[in-house]
Structure 1
Amino acid sequence: MPEKPAITSSELGTLWLTYQQKTMILRMLEYFIEKADDEKAKNIMISLYDEIDPYVEKITVIFQNEGAAIPVGFTSQDVNKEVPKLYDHGFDIMFVRLIKEISMGMHTLNITMASREDIVLIFKDLTAITQKYYNACTQYLIEKGMLARPPYVSMPNSVEFVKDTSYLGGLNPFSSKRTVNTVEVANLFHAIETNITGMQMITGFAQCANEQEAKKYFSKGAELAKSMIKELSETLLQDDIQTPSPSGGIATRSTVAPFSDKLMMYCTSLFCSFSMGGNSLGTAFSLRNDLSAKIMVFMKDIFEYAHEGAKIMIRNGWMEEQPQMESRDKLKK
């Protein structure tokens, strides 16, 4: 049998990112499992933990075999399971569901950037695990009445074609706008739903962060999420379309941090990346000009917010450097 080829730069990069994300999720699951007040939710999280934990070890072995440094990621020092509950009932599964949504996109993309069979298999397995638990979380939240369903619509009874370019309009304040279509509703509703969970998460972070700089940053993020929820909700309400309003999952009054500032900053950075990706899709599939323009403004705000967070992480020594390509200029000297 031929020996395995060395891993490529793309495979090294995607494995490194996966290691960071999985060690973060494991630390957060440890806390949420400890504080779970619902047996079914606890079992979902324990089962998820048991399924993804071995993949951290698999990635570690690959790094060792390739002679690559093992990333630090997130360790037991980044979580304190003994502190009071930071979030109310239901947030744990809401959070896990959103994390699994982020993971689905990441693992699918990572498969396309890998060619070595064992690495492709890792991302394939992780994709299946992610889909399994995303569905488990969704069904749990529906069963508990904690998941807002998108609005229903009358089924089309004929096929129609767009008749003129006014279909694309929306920027002119003196002309009427067409009602949003179902694809646009799907993107708007999803953006509101994810921002609500993100706002609840970052509000808790703002309450308990140790560093004042991080605390202010999280508060700013909560306000940004709130403004996006408000504007997108108003867009739906203009067409008499209901907006998502999930029950439960809010931050408690606790001000004691269960996670390190480093972990909370990384988690926020991950959510910003996911938000920019989701908004890109929203822009691509929204044909009404005013919707695309509004989403593009949000993307600019999110990018600037994420960039500000990166500076804070660097200043505090919280940003682990990704594997670098060789600097040929330095080698020549």
Structure 2
Amino acid sequence: MPDLKNIKLVSSEISGLWDSYMSDSLVICVLKQFLNNVEDNDIQTLLQHTLNLSIQHISIITDIFNQEGLPIPQGFTDKDVNINSPRLFSDTFYAAYISFIARVGMHDYTLTLNQIARSDIRKYFSKCITEYIGLYNKAAELRLSKGIFIRAPHIEVPKEVQFVGNQSFIFNIFKKKRALLAREITHIFSLISADIIGDALATGFSQVSRDKKISAYFLEGKHLGQEIIAELTSILVDEDIPIPATSESFVTDSTESPFSEKLMLYHALIMTAAGVSSKGAAIAQSMRADLEGMYTKLIAKIMKYTKDGIDIMNDNKFLEQPPQAISHEKLVKI
């Protein structure tokens, strides 16, 4: 087996580890605050399990970066969270939030693993994928047991094998659109569920932010999320398909911020990145032209919102520089 000390990390490995460190350091701050005011014992156990995973990840990545002589990201620390602030979200939200980050983790770690060569880094990301599969299953079982798991719609499907007979299966501008495929319903439902989480975060962050510009940015995100939810929901309504819903808003009336402006803005960027990725996957899996057009339009709106957020972070010097290649031209002294 080759000596790993002689195998330098490549760009995909460095960026994957750096992104993982940033996300886990944020999650640690968020979960510490959640744990300080959670009431349900089962949800508390789930939060603590998730926190332990993120702490382990930070420790492993720190060791790797130290061995490689790479700078440890600043990420997010205890300075970015006030664990003694009043609760901003409900216990039900906490359970849904864990399900969401488990889904995002499974997706992102898998994409990262596909680009990794070095055996120890592959082992790390493989371990992360397994952990997040287990985390999703724990969250799903808990939510099912408490009756707070919003299931995908039940649909009736044809009883016989059928074949597509004409081009209108995809392109049908002037005639009545064909019924949605099960996979298309799945993506729409999944996107609505994720945007419900994003809407709750934006709502909560907007009411506790102490900066007027940043608060307005979160409020804009809330409105964008509601617009997306409404557009996706209307498609299901037109098809007489049950829509996902929750009986509570998830957000309390607290106006005391549990998190720093930097953490909340970075969390918004994580949500928008996940939104773009999931809608891109929906385009790839959709076979109706109107759906593809809708997703493309929504992605453009989310990208515009993301750019505005990055601009605010730059203005406030909140955005930590990700690893980048050295510009050799700038090193030339003439």
TM-score scaled by length of structure 1: 0.96
Could you give the per-residue CA deviations for residues 172-202 of structure 1, whole angstroms, max 9, x where no partner exists?
3x42111111111111111111111110111
Tell me, yes or no, if the aligned pair for 1:92 and 1:249 is still in contact at 8 Å. Answer: no
Bigger shift: 205-214 or 244-253? 244-253
Tell me, yes or no, if the aligned pair for 1:146 and 1:248 is still in contact at 8 Å. Answer: no
Bigger shift: 106-115 or 149-158? 149-158
Instruction: State the partner residue of 2:16.
Output: 14
Q: Secondary structure at the match of 2:179?
A: coil
Could you give the per-residue CA deviations for residues 216-267 of structure 1, whole angstroms, max 9, x where no partner exists?
1000000000001111111110111111002335211001111111111111
Q: Give the whole-Å Cα distance in 2 for the aligned partners of 1:287 and 1:2.
A: 47
Residue among 43, 62, 65 paired with 2:67: 65
Tell me, yes or no, if the aligned pair for 2:102 and 2:133 is still in contact at 8 Å. Answer: yes
Deviation, structure 1 residue 50: 1.8
Residues 1:191 and 2:191 are matched in the alignment: yes
Residues 1:181 and 2:150 are matched in the alignment: no
Instruction: State the partner residue of 1:152.
Output: 154
Q: Give the whole-Å Cα distance in 2 for the aligned partners of 1:14 and 1:51.
A: 17
Instruction: State the partner residue of 2:52.
Output: 50
AA matched with 1:91: F
Q: Secondary structure at the match of 1:73?
A: coil
Could you give the per-residue CA deviations for residues 15-61 of structure 1, whole angstroms, max 9, x where no partner exists?
11110000001111111111111000001111222233122011111
Q: Give the whole-Å Cα distance in 2 for the aligned partners of 1:47 and 1:231.
A: 36
Tell me, yes or no, if the aligned pair for 2:27 and 2:54 is still in contact at 8 Å. Answer: no
Distance 1:32 1:87, change over 3 A: same
Instruction: State the partner residue of 2:121.
Output: 119
Tell me, yes or no, if the aligned pair for 1:90 and 1:249 is still in contact at 8 Å. Answer: no
Deviation, structure 1 residue 2: 4.5
The RMSD of aligned alpha carbons is 1.3
Tell me, yes or no, if the aligned pair for 1:94 and 1:249 is still in contact at 8 Å. Answer: no
Distance 1:61 1:287, change over 3 A: same
Q: Give the whole-Å Cα distance in 2 for the aligned partners of 1:2 and 1:46.
A: 37
Deviation, structure 1 residue 147: 2.0
Structure 2 stretches lacking a partner, 5+ long: none
Residues 1:248 and 2:241 are matched in the alignment: no
1:27-42 equivalences under 5 Å are 27-42=29-44
Could you give the per-residue CA deviations for residues 39-92 of structure 1, whole angstroms, max 9, x where no partner exists?
000011112222331220111111111111111000000111111110123111
TM-score scaled by length of structure 2: 0.96
Could you give the per-residue CA deviations for residues 108-165 of structure 1, whole angstroms, max 9, x where no partner exists?
1111222111111111111111111111112212222222211112243211111011
Instruction: State the partner residue of 2:286.
Output: 286
Q: Secondary structure at the match of 1:148?
A: coil
Deviation, structure 1 residue 304: 0.6
**Number of residue-to-residue matches in the alignment:** 331
Q: Give the whole-Å Cα distance in 1 for the aligned partners of 2:175 and 2:113.
A: 46
Residue among 70, 74, 77 paired with 1:75: 77
Q: Give the whole-Å Cα distance in 2 for the aligned partners of 1:150 and 1:61.
A: 41
AA matched with 2:273: S
Tell me, yes or no, if the aligned pair for 2:199 and 2:226 is still in contact at 8 Å. Answer: yes
Q: Give the whole-Å Cα distance in 2 for the aligned partners of 1:87 and 1:55.
A: 26
Bigger shift: 174-183 or 294-303? 174-183
Residues 1:217 and 2:208 are matched in the alignment: no
Q: Give the whole-Å Cα distance in 2 for the aligned partners of 1:323 and 1:284.
A: 30
Residues 1:165 and 2:167 are matched in the alignment: yes
Q: Give the whole-Å Cα distance in 2 for the aligned partners of 1:247 and 1:267.
A: 25
Could you give the per-residue CA deviations for residues 197-217 of structure 1, whole angstroms, max 9, x where no partner exists?
110111001010121111010
Q: Percent identity?
A: 30
Tell me, yes or no, if the aligned pair for 1:91 and 1:248 is still in contact at 8 Å. Answer: no
AA matched with 1:35: N
1:250-289 equivalences under 5 Å are 250-289=250-289
Q: Secondary structure at the match of 2:175?
A: coil
Q: Secondary structure at the match of 2:248?
A: coil
Deviation, structure 1 residue 274: 0.6
Q: Give the whole-Å Cα distance in 1 for the aligned partners of 2:94 and 2:209.
A: 19
Structure 1 stretches lacking a partner, 5+ long: none
Deviation, structure 1 residue 286: 1.0
Q: Give the whole-Å Cα distance in 2 for the aligned partners of 1:162 and 1:75.
A: 55
Tell me, yes or no, if the aligned pair for 1:89 and 1:249 is still in contact at 8 Å. Answer: no
